[in-house]
Amino acid sequence: MAKQKILIANRGEIAIRIMEACEELGIETVVVYTKEDEASEHVQRVLREPSKSKRAYCISSYKDPNEIFSVCDEAGCTAIHPGYGFFSENFRFARRAALRSRPVTFIGPRWEVIRDLGSKINTKRVAKSLNIPVIPGSSTPIYNEMEAEALAEELFFIQKEQGIKHPSILVKASAGGGGMGIEEVRELDAFRQTYRRIQNYARRQFGDEGVLIEQCLTDYHHLEVQILASRHDEYVHFGTRNCTIQSTGRQKRIEVAPGFDPKMVNYPFKATKVLNDIVEHSLKLARHVKYDSVGTWEWIVTRQGHPYLLEVNTRIQVENGISARISRVRGLGQPNLIKEQIRCALGDELGYSQEDISFEGTSIELRIVAEDTKRGFAPWCGTITELRFPQYEWATVHTHVPTDRPYKIPTEYDPNLALAIIWGPTSQDAIDRAKEFIDNTVINGYGPRGESIITNLPYLRERLNACLRFE
Amino acid sequence: MIDVNLNALLRQYRSNPYEELHIETPHTGIITFNVKVGDLVKGPSGAWKERPGTTLFTLEREGNVKKITAERDGEVSFVRDEVDGEFCEAREHVVTIRHRLSKDEIINFILRKVLYVFEAPETARYYLVPELEAVRDQKKEITLSPGDDFLIMSLMKRDTFLKYEGPKGTVFRLYFKPGDIVEQGEPLVGIASPEDLDIVDKIIQRIQSEWED
C-alpha cells in the first residue's frame, strides 16, 4: 500500500475509532474540529501525542466542504474518512474528492453508488425493479402541498381498506437521515400543519424542502443487514442487527446483533428464514449496484414477518461494532469494520469469503446520551464532571468525553456521551451483562442552573427487557 | 415602569467611548493582510450599506479569494503580521480595531438597560417564528403578549418553539441575526411596554441631542 495520510472529517467517538483503526493499519491521520469541540478527546488526544507535523486543525464548520478540502491539501492528506453523518452520504462531496485537481480518496463507496443508494427515493426505485419489497408511499420528493395532501389521503384510504384500525402516515424530510425530521400523522386533518412544519425544518436544516410521505407501519421491528464489499467484486455480510429500541424522535438507543433470536423469543413467523431473506435481498441489491464499501441495509419487519426495505446507509454505521463483535473471520479473528472499510477504499481485496465468516453469541450496543427521556428525549446541556465505566472483558466503550477533567457538552451537536458494546454467549446473558454494566456506570454533572445531569441510563436499563421482542 | 440613571450611564460612556473589536478568520485559508497598525478603516457605507468597508485581509481557500472587510469604523491597533502569507485555521484572532462608539450604538447599549430584554435560555441558534419573520419583512411593528410563540431555538439539531414570557409590548430591538449562535444569557429581543414607549423615546432624543459622533 502506498504511504497514506487520512483526514478524519468528523468528530466525537467515531473520529477516535477511525484514528485507532488507522493506527492499526499504520496510516497517519489528521483531525479537524470546531472551536466548540476543542475540549473533545478526538482533538485533545491528538494534541497530547508528540508529532513532527501538525495533526489538528480548527475549522469553521464540519459541514463546509471547502474547509475539509483546504485542510486536506494543507496537511498533505491522501484520503478523507467522513465517518457517519456530515459528508458520509454526500455524493457531491465524494465526487469532488475524486475529480478535483488534487484528487483524494473518499473512504466510502464510489460517488455514483452513493448517488444511487444515498437517496431513499432512488433506493426505493431500484429495489422495486429487483422485486425487493418496499414500503408504500411517495417515490420522489414532494414540494407541492396539494400533491402531498392527495397522496396522504390515498395512503389513509389504502390503510382503511386493509382494515387497519389506527392508520397513520410518516412525513419525512427527504434530505434527512438518522431519525431527524420525521413526524407521524394520525389524522388527515392534521396533515397540512405537519407537512408545513417538516418542510420548514427541511429548508432550515438541509437547504432542500422536499418531503417524503409513506405509510406508517406501527407494529414492526427495525432490522439492519451489515454488508461489506470490495472494489474486486467481493461481497460478504456480517449478519443482522435489531435497532427497534428508539427514542420518540426515532433515534436508535439500543441495538442488538443478531436481529432476531428464536432461541429466546417465540416469534409468530419463521425468524431465521426472515433474516436469511433480508440478507439475500440486501446482497442482491449490493451486487446490482456494484457496491464497494461497508454499508447498512435497513429493513422493517412486521409482526406478521413481512420485510420491507427502508433505505441503504452508504457509510459506516454507529452500531457497526456489535456486528464485528459477534463475527469471526477465519485467519483474522474478530474483524474491525472501520479497518475493512479503509482497506477496501484503498483498493485492497478482502482476502476472505462468506464461508470464512462465522457468528458467535449476541452483542448489544447502549447509546448513552445526556437527555431527558421523560420529556420527549429533550437533549440535556451542561458540564460532565465524572464519567466512569466498569471494566469487563465482555464490554468495550467508545467515548470522546474526557474522563480526567470536566467537559462541557457543546450545544451545537447531539449530547451523545458514549457507546457501550456488550457481548454475551446468549442473548439473555448479553442483556444481563448490559444491565450490570449500567448499574456500575457513574456519570455526574451539572446544568446551566446548577441542576444535576440527566442521562438515559435508567431508560436503557428498563428497555433492555424489550430487546428482540414484539411488545 | 422604567427606572434608569441616564446621567450616570452617559458619564460612563463618555469616559471611555471605545470598543475593541477582535477580528477572527471566519474560515481556513492563506491570509494576506491589507492593513497595518495605525491605519484608519471604514465600515460599510451608502444608504443601504451597499459599499463594503475597508478590506482588512484576504483568505485564499480552494482557489477562491475572500475579502474580509471592516464591519465598523476605527483604527487598527493590532495585526498578527507573523502569519501573513501563511495558512490560517478558522477563528484565529488576527486583527484588532479600536472603534469609537457612535450615537446609535450608545442608544443601543443604553436601551439594553431600559428595555425588557429576553435573554437566550441556552447557547443555540435562534430564529423568529415564520409568522413574525413575515411581519418583520414588511417592516411592520411586532407586538408580543405573554404566551405567544415568538422564537425558534435550534439546539442539538432540534427545534424548540419558545413562548414569550414578559410584559405585553412592542419589539424595539432584535439583538441577534437569525441563524447565528447566541451564547446563553446574551440578549435576544428588547421589548418596550406601551406605557414605557414615551420614556424610551425621550431617552433616545436626549442621547441624540447630547452625544457628539
d(Cα A458, Cα A460) in Å, to the nearest integer?
Answer: 5
pLDDT of residue A219: 87
- Cβ(A191)–Cβ(A149) under 8 Å? yes
Q: Would you call B129 helix, strand, or coil by DSSP?
A: coil
Class of domain A136-215: alpha beta
Are the folds of B18-100 and B104-210 the same? yes
pLDDT of residue A198: 93
Q: Mean pLDDT lowest for which of A184-188, A236-240, B72-76, B132-136? A: B132-136
As a CATH number, domain B104-210 is 2.40.50.100
* Residue numbers of A annotated as active site: 315
Q: Would you call A61 helix, strand, or coil by DSSP?
A: coil
Class of domain A5-107: alpha beta
pLDDT of residue A193: 93
Could you list the beta-strand ranges (E) of A46-117.
Answer: 56-58, 79-81, 105-106
Tell me B141's DSSP state.
Answer: P
pLDDT of residue A257: 98
Residue pointed to by grid coordinates 431600559: B114
Question: Which ranges of chain B have pLDDT less than 50?
Answer: none
Report CB contact under 8 Å: A414, B61: no
As a CATH number, domain A220-358 is 3.30.470.20
Residue A1 pLDDT > 70, yes or no?
no
Estimate to the nearest angstrom the gap between the alpha carbon of A235 and the chain centroid: 20
* Residue of chain B minimizing CA distance to A382: B122
Partners of B60 on chain A (C-beta within 8 Å) are none
Q: Mean pLDDT lowest for which of A69-73, A94-98, B106-110? A: B106-110
List the grid coordinates of A386.
465524572
* Residues A11-43: tens digit of each pLDDT: 999 999 999 999 999 999 999 999 999 999 999
- Cβ(A252)–Cβ(A181) under 8 Å? no
Nearest residue to A363 via CA among A421, A312, A450: A421
List the grid coordinates of A341.
472499510
Report CB contact under 8 Å: A59, B89: yes
Q: Would you call A442 helix, strand, or coil by DSSP?
A: strand
Percent of chain A with pLDDT over 70: 99
Nearest residue to A20 via CA among A322, A367, A396: A396
Task: Write down the mean pLDDT value for chain A.
Answer: 94
Residue pointed to by grid coordinates 467484486: A233
DSSP track, A389-404: ----TTEEEEE-S-SS
Domain ranges within chain A, ordered by starting residue: 5-107, 136-215, 220-358, 364-466
pLDDT of residue A143: 94
pLDDT of residue A177: 63
Domain ranges within chain B, ordered by starting residue: 18-100, 104-210
Chain B residues contacting A, CB < 8 Å?
Answer: 26-29, 61-62, 64, 87, 89-92, 122-124, 127, 130, 154-159, 181, 184
DSSP track, B23-56: EE-SS-EEEEE---TT-EE---BSTTS-B---EE
* Residues A244-280: tens digit of each pLDDT: 999 987 899 999 999 999 999 999 999 999 999 999 9
Considering only the beta carbons, identify the residue of B62, B87, B156 that sits closest to A413. B156
- Cβ(A22)–Cβ(A28) under 8 Å? yes
Class of domain B18-100: mainly beta
pLDDT confidence band for A121 (50 / 70 / 90): confident
Strand order in the sheet with B116-119: B116-119, B187-192, B169-174, B143-144
Residue A49 pLDDT > 60, yes or no?
yes
d(Cα B53, Cα B48) in Å, to the nearest integer?
Answer: 13
d(Cα B153, Cα B137) in Å, to the nearest integer?
Answer: 20
pLDDT of residue B113: 82
Q: Which of residues 282-311 of A touch B (CB under 8 A)?
A: none
* Residue of chain A minimizing CA distance to B178: A204
Instruction: Please name every residue paired with B190 in a beta bridge, in sequence order, or none if there are none.
Output: B117, B173
Q: How far does A202 lie from chain B, in Å, by closest CA?
A: 11
Instruction: Look up the ipTM and state it.
Output: 0.84
Report helix angle A120-129 to A271-288, nearest 10.
100
Assign domain A364-466 one CATH number from 3.40.140.10, 3.40.50.300, 3.30.470.20, 3.30.230.10.
3.30.470.20
- Which helix (H) or strand (E) element contains residue A352? none
Partners of B157 on chain A (C-beta within 8 Å) are 180, 205, 413-414
Are the folds of A136-215 and A364-466 the same? no
- Cβ(A117)–Cβ(A287) under 8 Å? no
Please check whether residue A70 touches B, CB under 8 A: yes
Could you list the beta-strand ranges (E) of A303-455.
Answer: 307-313, 327-329, 357-359, 362-369, 371-372, 378-379, 383-388, 395-399, 407-408, 416-424, 442-446
